[in-house]
Structure 1
Amino acid sequence: MKVQRKDMCSQHLERYNADGELFLQRILTGDESWAHNYDPYRKAHSMKYRHKTSPSPRKYKVVASARKILFTVFWDVVHMEFLEQGQTMNCERYASTLRAIKLRLRRFRRDRTDTDSILQHDNARPPTSRQTQDALRQVKLTALPYPAYSPDLAPSDYFWFPQLKKYLRDHHYDNDGYLDVHRWYCGQSSEFFVDGVRPLVKRLKLCDYRVGDYVEK
């Protein structure tokens, strides 16, 4: 695993050294995540000051709401979609998502050719399925090699989802959260997305220096 991570980091750094900021600008990164109808603060956030002689407070088990939605997001073209309640991402749906992304790329990146964008997604199913690979060839998108189990090298995991879930935390919302998630997403500036991708270079360098070890250790 570490050897694979180091090799891929070295490859990406070579491309960055050759193309500079253009390499980062070409990256279209995304993933999927769950949003709960109610996401409570962590235990540490609800602690109150007590004197050492005060009686122990009654503790209630606080859990996230059972109502939740699965959403998929790709940026910086601001493509977001929500699955119906109870549905999960499958190969057919993911292939459809790739086609929708291609349409948005043609709309928002008119100054670039079809082959300019590099797709960064994880290597679990469905992104690695044969159906997905066929869809990538059809829409002429190139996938950036990505080491398995590496959230420390994925901008969505180390930057985007934590920012969104911080916004949603301890917040009750109606309509299953569609409007809340979408409003927050579309309210971000272009610099917000740039700031999310730019630290990738530092993380790649650190992973390469640590011979494939995790950046956040």
Structure 2
Amino acid sequence: MFESHGPRRLSDIVTGDENWFLFFIIPPKRLNHMWVDGQGDRPVVLRPGFQSRNRMFTVFFNYSGPLVVDILPQVTAMTATYYVQNVLSQDKSAINEQRPKVSTSRTLLLHGNAGSHKARATTQSLQELGIEVLPHPAYSPDLAPCCDVYMYY
């Protein structure tokens, strides 16, 4: 399938997955400087751990680098509807910009086995876009290299 004159190239593969990342925002040191009079107590500054958050990042990339980096809003769950409307639509737009002649017709998608990836709405949307899904064996994170990417914001 991926031979030198075969119907597919490695540049046709788009891979991606979701992962939870703990990140926190440390205020700059200059924000902790303040003038206080001799009578008042200095305000207490919270440690960085109190501002830490756990957020879900969805990253899709291909041979040339990242295509989509989506950060799930804090009070939202990753559902098939969110996945189709936000993540796959961004993915389609990025592929169309990068490969305007081919578009999504030759794209092979390798993503995990999450419920939002296997839902009926997702599979129908991928069929409409003409994106073929490569099978992903269960419990095989080495096939989705984006699971090993660490991002700090």
Per the normalisation by structure 2, the TM-score is 0.69
Gaps of 5+ in 1: 1-14, 39-62, 169-176, 178-217
Contact 2:84/2:125 (8 A) holds in 1: yes
Contact 2:105/2:129 (8 A) holds in 1: no
Contact 1:91/1:132 (8 A) holds in 2: yes
1:84 to 73, 78, 81: 73
Residue equivalent to 1:95:
84
Superposed counterparts of 1:1-150, under 5 Å: 15-17=1-3, 23-38=9-24, 67-76=53-62, 78-96=67-85, 97-150=87-140
What is the CA-CA distance between 1:124 and the residue it aligns to? Answer: 2.4
Gaps of 5+ in 2: 25-48
Deviations along 1:123-148, whole A, 9 cap, x unmatched?
A: 22110111111111122211111111
Per the normalisation by structure 1, the TM-score is 0.51
What is the CA–CA distance in structure 2 between the aligned matches of 1:66 and 1:108, rounded to whole Å? 35
What is the CA–CA distance in structure 2 between the aligned matches of 1:64 and 1:25, rounded to whole Å? 43
What is the CA-CA distance between 1:79 and the residue it aligns to? Answer: 1.0
- Aligned-residue CA RMSD (Å): 2.4
Comparing both structures, which one devotes a greater share of its residues to strand?
A: 2
What is the CA-CA distance between 1:115 and the residue it aligns to? Answer: 1.3
- Equivalent residue of 2:117, what SS? coil
Comparing both structures, which one devotes a greater share of its residues to helix?
A: 1
Against the structure 1 CA distance between its residues 67 and 113, is the aligned structure 2 distance closer, same or farther, given a 3 Å change threshold? closer
Deviations along 1:79-137, whole A, 9 cap, x unmatched?
A: 11111113231110111121221122111112424311111101221101111111111
Contact 1:71/1:81 (8 A) holds in 2: yes
Bigger-Rg structure (1/2):
2
What is the CA–CA distance in structure 2 between the aligned matches of 1:32 and 1:64, rounded to whole Å? 25
What is the CA–CA distance in structure 1 between the aligned matches of 2:142 and 2:119, rounded to whole Å? 23
Against the structure 1 CA distance between its residues 113 and 85, is the aligned structure 2 distance closer, same or farther, given a 3 Å change threshold? closer
Contact 2:17/2:144 (8 A) holds in 1: no
The number of residues matched between the two structures is 124
Contact 2:67/2:91 (8 A) holds in 1: no
Against the structure 1 CA distance between its residues 117 and 71, is the aligned structure 2 distance closer, same or farther, given a 3 Å change threshold? same
